[in-house]
Amino acid sequence: MSERALILVIAFILLMPMIWLSCRWIWTLVCEEAGVTKQEVRLYRIKINREMNPNRKVYPWMLSHSENPKKLKRLIRLYNACVIPNLLLLCLACANLFSPNVIFYGILDRAVMVMAISPLILSFLGVIHRKIKS
């Protein structure tokens, strides 16, 4: 296990909550567009949590409550595009931790820099959105 690979894993783990917090305004938009509250989504997930893959049921449920499903789909894609890359890069960093590959270091080094800037950009866009909305 190399020290550099461990630092990359820790960096991506630390970035996860930052990215999640900076994307909360997008999730609020998703819930507003679906016509449900965040609490209703949480309660519905708890209700179906015993089933396998509950997210597959939450998505159609939100679409059925939405007045504009196309816009909701776009917002969900935007939310996923903001959250999923860091999760995938964390998996790649963990894989690199146990079988170091020099090729991945360049990718992961650049990705850490981009992912470190993305919460700032998303937070800035959230502030702009709130100002436009009010």
**Per-residue model confidence (pLDDT) at position 1:** 66
HSE-CB at 131 with a 13 A cutoff on CA atoms is 6
Domain range enclosing 11: 3-133
- Assign 60 a pLDDT band (cuts: 50, 70, 90): very high
For the record, the structure tokens of 70 come out as 């196309």
How many domains is the chain partitioned into structurally? 1
d(CA 46, CA 42): 6
Supply the pTM of this predicted model. 0.80
**Per-residue model confidence (pLDDT) at position 55:** 78
**Per-residue model confidence (pLDDT) at position 27:** 92
Look over the chain and give the mean of its residue pLDDT values, rounded to a whole number. 87
